[in-house]
Amino acid sequence: MLAPALEVPIQNGTGSIPTVGLGTWTVFGEQGNADEVEKACLAAIDAGYRHIDCAWCYGTQPGVGRALEAKIREGVITREDMFITTKLWDTHHNPSLVSEELKDSLTTLRTDYVDLFLIHWPLALQDQDMSGKPIAPLDADGKGIPAEHALEDVWKAMEECHRAGLTRNIGLSNFNKKQVDRIMKICTIKPSNMQVEVSPYFSNSRILDHCRQLGMTLTAYAPLGAPNRPWRETGEPNVFEDPVLKEIATVKRKTTAQVILRFHIQRGLVVIPKSIRTSRIQENIQIFDFTLTDDEMSKIAALDKNLRVFKESIGFNHKEYPFNEPF
């Protein structure tokens, strides 16, 4: 059983990642949610969060930037106290657009650098400018219009962002093993982090184990299974209703969410639960005052149903669609 730490050292890069971060995705591509994310970030920083996970396509980075600026001005934090992640969107895989997008993110985040810059998906879509409209260019069948930008070339542009001091670390998200290995074969700067979907019903163990062996830190998005996702199908299980998790939560006198997050960090993962409710934000970081036993960890691990809920359907026909491989 791994002993969780407040921070995870970055082996292939610089610094360390706070184990619990705040996710800032609300409703895909709707800029209006920046205001509620600003409030969530203010509450998170007050609750002790020092890690905020962002992405260009979320449309919420202006709110994150305002919150960071406010808390720095108040003297609650310094920029160095915070670990900020952002991600390269699919429509900016053209190597000439990679640094342009990152600079755009830096402007909205009101910072000179980010701590981690990830390739959000291995799916290059038709080049778009920084207006974010459309956020994903689609064909008549509702699928993303692909662009011919090799992942290897995108990575080289990511490395240039690192060398320019725009980001302290670079990494990957939603890549499969073959795609990871392609990057490892050509990289000068190794990926520092892999961010993938992980929940009690989706362990994603094989890609996590592979990336861990390559020295990457590991971040779990949707760690609570995204039970409120709009596309949830009737009959799909909800982790918050799981009797095993509820029983452990009762024994530990914790919430089911706290038990789940604790499970992940005892697997050695960084977690980035999303919430805009202050009480839930506070609850999600209060997971360092109890421990799950080996037996409890085994019981939760046995819940795995291989239930992936973020399938990125717009990329089903893309040649780089990552989830056609076993892992």
Is the pLDDT score of 249 beyond 80? yes
Is the pLDDT score of 252 beyond 90? yes
Look at residue 234 in the predicted model and tell me its pLDDT.
80
Mean local confidence (pLDDT), 261-275: 97
Identity at 271, one-letter amino acid code: V
Show which residues are catalytic: 58
Extract the tokens encoding 322: 């990552």
Mean local confidence (pLDDT), 247-262: 98
C-alpha distances in Å from residue 147, one per residue of 124, 177, 317: 5, 22, 12
What mean pLDDT, rounded, does the chain reach?
A: 95
For 243, how many CA atoms within 13 A lie in the half-sphere containing its CB?
A: 0
State residue 251 phi and psi, 5-degree precision.
-60, -40
- 179-225 per-position pLDDT tens digit: 999 999 999 999 999 999 999 999 999 999 999 999 999 999 999 99
Distance, in Å, from the CA atom of 226 to the CA atom of 245, rounded to the nearest integer, reads 16
A 10 A CB-CB count for 96 gives 10
C-alpha distances in Å from residue 67, one per residue of 28, 33, 52, 257, 280: 20, 14, 11, 25, 18
Is the pLDDT score of 158 beyond 60? yes
What is the residue extent of each domain of the chain?
15-233+270-276+305-324
Is the pLDDT score of 5 beyond 70? no
Q: Is CATH 1.10.357.10 the right assignment for the domain spanning 15-233+270-276+305-324?
A: no
Q: Is 270 helix (H, G, I), strand (E, B) or coil?
A: strand
Is 120 known as a binding-site position? yes
According to DSSP H, which parts of the chain are helical?
34-47, 61-73, 95-109, 151-163, 177-186, 205-213, 243-252, 256-266, 278-285, 294-301
Mean local confidence (pLDDT), 247-261: 98
Distance, in Å, from the CA atom of 161 to the CA atom of 166, rounded to the nearest integer, reads 5
Q: Is the dihedral of CA 250, 255, 257, 258 positive or negative?
A: negative
Q: Is 14 left (phi over 0), alpha (psi -120 to 50) or beta?
A: beta
- 38-48 per-position pLDDT tens digit: 999 999 999 99
DSSP output for 199-255: BTTB--HHHHHHHHHTT-EEEEESTT--TT-TTPPTT---GGG-HHHHHHHHHHTS-
SS percent in the chain: helix, strand, coil, step 5: 40, 15, 45
Distance, in Å, from the CA atom of 274 to the CA atom of 222, rounded to the nearest integer, reads 8
For 227, how many CA atoms within 13 A lie in the half-sphere containing its CB?
A: 12
